[in-house]
Amino acid sequence: MALVITNLTKQYNKHKTGLADYSITINKGILGLLGPNGAGKSTLMKIIATISKPTQGTVFLDGEDIVANPGRIRKVLGYLPQDFGVYPNLNAYEFLTYIAALKGLGGNDLRKRIDMLLEGVNLTADAKRPIGTYSGGMKQRIGIAQALLNDPKILIFDEPTVGLDPEERVRFRQLVSDLADDCIIILSSHIVSDIETIADEVAIMQNGRLLAKAIQPDIIKSVEGRVFETLIDSSHLPDFKTKHLVIDTNRQKDKTRVRYITTTPLAGSTALTATLEDAYLFLTHSNA
Amino acid sequence: MKYIYSIIKADYLQRTRSYVFLITMAITIYAAYSFVPPPSAHYTTLNIVGFKGVYNSAWVGHLSAMMTTVMLSLYGFFLVTGGIKKDVDTEVGLIIATTPISNFGYLLSKMLSNFLVLLTIAGTTFVVSLAMFFLRSSGYPFVISNFIVPFLLLALPALLFISAIAVVGEVFLGKRAILQYIGFVFLFGAIMGHTKGETNDTIAVVTDPFGLRTMTMSIQNQVNNEFHTHVDGVSMGFTFHKKDNAFRTFTWNGITWTPVFMFSRLLWIILAFSLVYISSFFFHRFDFKQIAHKKKKATQYADNIPVITPAITAISMAALPAIIKNYSIVPLIKTELMLLIRKGSKWLWLLNAGLCVSMLFAPLNISHTYLLPVLWFLQVTRLSELATKEKTNRLHYFTWSSYKPLQRMLPAQILAGVTLMVTLALPLIIRYLLVLNGFAIVNILLGAVFIVLLAVCMGIVSGGKKLYEIVFFLITYLVTQKLPLVDYLGAIAHNSQILYTVLILNIALCCISFWARNYQARHL
């Protein structure tokens, strides 16, 4: 199974471009999408989910054009949008039954499937309460359950860990990893660690363009040998920032420990092992 | 003061930068065009049996101002109500609540932004009335004061009062929109009835927020004096006449504004501000007791459930039962019906039930002309969100990316709406069945489809509920006034032409709805 995206452009209006001549091929496994706000991640996901039409370009799923024939992907799609909502007057059972009907699912075992999914996202005890009374994390879990209802082969998760507490995030990552053997999973997040721990491949986007797409070690290679740490006077920090790409700072009394990327490190700096976050920030800043 | 100005400005811009407002403006321009019919027209908007004023400045200016005042007061309420609710829904209210603005300051700004919205529409009708006077040039001199003064004295105080009533309704009835609508309709009806029925002229003038009595009395007195006749009432509203009906014309030169009248206008302005001031003592300032109640309820639930780890456990997709495809829309219709039924207060179903029972026993024509339109209108908040609730609840990502949403989801919504409306009309349908009146039944069924399709179409096109709520209210009001033009449910005895008209309208609404939704669902 492969999703082939070629020369995709989404022009919202004269001044706003969602995607610009974007091409990518996505195979089975987890693709992590990284990019600053406005990079085009959600636009790309909406086009793949067939709720937004590209201005130009094609999206093929196993050789079939899903822009022209959206029904093809919709049958195997699980989609968790970034800012989805629910009908507050329905309870979890009713809501999932409704979504199942939308996805064209039925049969005697549907109830059992819903039960098991609710159990999986730990909402069985609250399943008969109106969803309007749920917390943000519980709503997010209902969103995850609905995405899995139809045994999807393509899963799109747009900022899925928003609202989840740390333990839930760990569990969610585990769940996604388990699903990856049999599906294409596209996952976007602002939290680089979420992507870092589970993504097989990473795509970094900016201003509607693809900056890099590769397995994590290859992306990290771009900053290897350039990441350093040093201790400077806090008063020098603003000046330091103008000369180097600062990744992280840690204030210690009147000194600040700085993690930075450079080709000309300060004397006394310690070389550090590069991470995906370093590579992401390096790529997005050097292409800004 | 700067807070108030900022809120008024933001609120005004927010409301006027919407398709609903644009569509309302377009309808207003058409309405304003029809408010003062040309001398050759076969309808009047001010009914003085057998008489009609000549098309001079006074007649056009006053009549236009009067029609604007009454019609805009009637549907303007529906347009402007909901300003506070918007702040609740968007949670902007929580930010406002933490600012130094007083309750009165906030409510005052809401009233004034309501007023500005209505004023914009009134201003448009004013311009249209001027244009009409020149376009339909009848040779009478143009007197600008005959246009400006009636707008200032009739429309402005009335619209300010309506703006205040909208705020007060929201303060006391909160999110219960349908109760606000019912309350307003009763208030409006009571005011109109009192204005017409009061025998003491001074009391009638003072207690008339729309200033109608002064104008109708002036016209009535002139007709009686000039033609030595005994016209005992001048009524407002669109009245159609047969083509061969001849009118006797009279030259009316406007109203003499008496001190009592001026005092009454001032009184209504003061009353508007006072009502808002009083209601500020009861304003929730976005701190809801209901929320506390809900939380309490949620805690009660929580008490009853065992302590669990609030996290995701392992899901084995392989262990889940195999999926079976079923593309039937019946489950979707069921859920849509469930959502329609659960919407709004439960006690409103008692009112619905009461009206259903009344339709069984009231005279057939009363049931068809008054009870059924009112019963259907009581469902306005249900129908208005039929095709908008996915977007309002941000569920459209799921519905529009589902399998064939246009062929399954939209028909399910329409069918659910029609099922509800037909079910409510069943008592009347059964009675018509018993008297073998198939024509009336077909009319009712087509009417049910029409009012649902109108909700769907207006919801999809405007993206909101307001437009439909205003239009449905106006249609209901005009049906109960027996205006044949809007008789979508065949309540008034006439030929089968209306039936075909509704049928064609249904097809048109259906086509527009499907086309627009198809576009929306692929252009998020």
Q: Is the dihedral of CA A91, A93, A94, A95 positive or negative?
A: positive
Q: Which structural domain, as residue segments, surrounds residue B192?
A: 2-289
Query: Which of A71, A89, A146 lies nearest to residue B398, judging by beta carbons?
Result: A146
Check: CB of residue B138 under 8 Å from CB of residue B51.
no
Residue at B317 is within a domain: no
Q: Is A71 within 8 Å of B523 when comparing Cβ atoms?
A: no
Contact between B508 and B453 (Cβ < 8 Å) = no
* B336 shares its domain with B282: no
Q: Give the nearest partner residue to A109 out of B321, B335, B343, using CB atoms.
A: B321
Residue B317 to residue A117, Cβ atoms within 8 A: no
For A82, which residue in chain B has the nearest alpha carbon? B397
Flag whether B302 is in a domain: no
Query: ipTM exceeding 0.90?
Result: no
User: What is residue B486's three-state secondary structure?
Assistant: helix
Cβ of A107 and B324 within 8 Å?
Answer: yes
Contacts of B391 (CB under 8 A, 6+ apart): B463
Spatial separation of the C-alpha atoms in residues A101 and A237, rounded to whole Å: 57
Residue reference for tokens 């086509």 = B511
Name the token pair of B41. Answer: 């027209």
- Beta-bridged to residue A259, according to DSSP, are A229, A248
Among residues A87, A83, A185, A175, which one has the least CA distance to residue A131? A87
**Distance from C-alpha of A244 to C-alpha of B206, rounded to nearest angstrom:** 77
Residue A44: closest CA among chain B residues belongs to which residue?
A: B524
B282 and B399 together in one domain: no
From A113, A119, A144, residue closest to B321, measured CB to CB: A113
What is chain A's length?
A: 288
Interface residue A161 vs chain B (CB under 8 A): no
Instruction: Tell me, yes or no, whether B34 lies in a domain.
Output: yes
B255 and B345 in a single domain? The answer is no
Q: Is residue B468 part of a domain?
A: yes
Each residue's pLDDT tens digit, A85-98: 898 889 999 999 99
The answer on B343 and B207 residing in a single domain is no
Between the alpha carbon of residue B262 and those of residues A252, B68, B255, B300, the distances in Å are: 74, 19, 12, 59
Asked whether residue B303 is assigned to any structural domain, the reply reads no
Q: Which helix (H) or strand (E) holds B50?
A: none
Amino acid code (one letter) for A89: N
B365 shares a domain with B283:
no
Sequence-ordered list of residues with C-beta below 8 angstroms from that of B470, at least 6 positions apart, any chain: B24, B75, B78, B79
Q: What secondary structure, in 3-state letters, does chain A show?
A: CEEEEEEEEEECCCCCEEEEEEEEEEECEEEEEECCCCCCHHHHHHHHCCCECCCEEEEEECCEECCCCCHHHHCCEEEECCCCCCCCCCEHHHHHHHHHHHCCEECCCHHHHHHHHHHHCCCHHHCCCEHHHCCHHHHHHHHHHHHHCCCCCEEEEECCCCCCCHHHHHHHHHHHHHHCCCCEEEEECCCHHHHHHHCCEEEEEECCEEEEEEEHHHHHHCCCCCEEEEEEEHHHHHHHHHHCEEEEEEEECCEEEEEEECCCCCCCCEECCCCHHHHHHHHHHHCC
Q: How confident is the model at residue A180 (pLDDT cuts 50, 70, 90)?
A: confident
In a domain, B174, yes or no: yes
B352 and B238 in one domain?
Answer: no
User: Could you give phi then psi for residue B65, rounded to 5 degrees?
Assistant: -65, -40
| Residue type for position B190 | A
**Among the three residues B272, B289, B306, which one is the final residue of a domain in this structure?**
B289
Which of the listed residues B233, B261, B289 is the one where a domain comes to its end? B289
- Cβ of B325 and A106 within 8 Å? yes
For chain B, 524 residues long, give each residue's pLDDT as a single digit of tens.
667 888 888 889 988 888 888 888 888 888 888 888 887 777 778 878 788 888 899 999 999 999 999 989 988 999 999 889 888 888 788 888 887 888 999 999 999 999 999 999 999 999 999 998 998 877 889 999 999 999 999 999 999 999 999 999 999 987 788 889 889 989 998 998 888 777 788 888 889 999 888 888 899 888 998 888 888 778 777 777 666 567 788 899 999 889 999 999 999 999 999 999 999 999 988 887 554 454 455 445 444 544 444 556 667 777 888 888 889 999 999 999 999 999 887 888 999 999 999 999 999 999 999 999 999 999 999 999 999 999 988 999 999 999 899 999 999 999 999 999 999 999 999 999 999 999 999 999 999 999 999 999 999 998 888 899 989 998 998 888 888 888 999 988 767 788 899 999 999 999 999 999 999 988 88
**Same domain? B334 vs B267:** no
Q: Report the number of distinct structural domains present in chain B.
A: 2
Instruction: Read off the pLDDT of each residue in A264-275 and give the average, rounded to a whole number.
Output: 92
Segment B257-303, tens digit of pLDDT: 899 999 999 999 999 999 999 999 999 888 875 544 544 554 454 44
Does the residue B163 lie in any domain? Answer: yes
Same domain, B145 and B243: yes
Report DSSP state, residue B484: G
DSSP state of B142: P
Which residue on chain A is closest to B338 by alpha carbon? Answer: A90
Contacts of A150 in chain B (CB under 8 A): 323
- B325 belongs to a structural domain: no
The answer to whether residues B39 and B96 belong to one domain is yes
| Residues B484 and B357 placed together within one structural domain of the fold | yes
The domain boundary, picked from B258, B289, B320, lies at B289
B275 and B362 in a single domain? The answer is no
- Which residue in B521, B513, B516 sits closest to B454, CA to CA? B513
Closest approach of B306 to chain A, Cα-based (Å): 8
Q: Does residue B279 sit in the same domain as residue B335?
A: no
Alpha-carbon distance A277 to nearest alpha carbon in chain B (angstroms): 26
